[in-house]
Amino acid sequence: MSATLQRCPGLYCGRQRLENNTWSECGACPRGFRVIESYECTRCKDDLDAYSWFYLGFMAMLPLMMHCFFIDLDAKDRKFSRKQLILTSCALAETIIAALFSILLMEPMGQFRLYACPVNKFSDWYTLFYNPTPNYEKLLHCTQEAVYPLQTIVLVFYFLCLINMCVIRPLVSTACKIRGKAPPIYAALYFLPLLTFLHALACGLIFYSFPYLSIAMSMISNAIHYSMKLDQSFKALVLPFPSIFYILTVRFTDPAEFRDAEARSN
């Protein structure tokens, strides 16, 4: 029946099947749906691909890296102190909890998997700019999340990170008797909204460039981390864990791997 649907204007306008087995007027598809070539809004039922999972992992690492940066910046000890260890572990726990709940809140709810609509082109991230004006008369609003759930899940994740930090961090600091001011928490109240704004503005650009950004950010963060250490001795700086982590994850961040995989799929 969908083959007989009349054409809808624009790239993202579609029709929904109504309860009386008829079709709606052309418009935006509901959340979790996407228009297909027959101009029908179909539910997103594909499993999230590996590249998209790595993208979500990259977005989840950003607040954790920022937390660690400001915890290091606030440290006054020459060596890795008990306070740093507790706050870093707390930031890691907050991020993991937020990530798990973000997945559970998306379709299918309550499961550690995600239904998704495939990302076909760059414009899928910015449907706001592709609302058509039929016959140059009235603007037809067809803005939707064509890349469901890659936009909303990150926003939910950042919100949960903020909630977790405001709830968990003070409790842990009180229980572990960590004294002093809390500049890392104050900093997070700034960088979490900034990350949210960055995602809303440049999510499409980040999606296609995050393998390159991962390599650049890992080099910059290591350089900043080591330069901030007061103890510049060889024993204090050379640790096996960064090298082991790099060796284990480098193949996942090699941009050539994603290009080859995309070429094979096409």
Output the tens digit of pLDDT for each of the chain's 266 residues: 444 688 899 999 999 988 888 899 999 999 999 998 889 999 999 999 999 999 999 999 999 989 988 887 877 655 667 888 888 899 999 999 999 999 999 999 999 999 999 999 999 999 999 999 988 888 999 999 999 999 999 999 999 999 999 999 889 888 887 776 677 888 899 999 999 999 999 999 999 999 999 888 888 877 776 666 655 555 555 554 455 555 555 555 555 555 555 555 55
Predicted local distance difference test score (pLDDT) of residue 19 = 84
Residue 150 pLDDT: 96
Pairing status of strand 46-47 against strand 115-116: antiparallel
Q: What is the spatial distance between Cα 255 and Cα 209, in angstroms, rounded to a whole number?
A: 9
Radius of gyration of the chain (CA): 23
Q: DSSP letters along 140-195, please?
A: ------TTTTTTHHHHHHHHHHHHHHHHHHHHHHHHTT--S--HHHHHHHHHHHHH
pTM of the model: 0.83
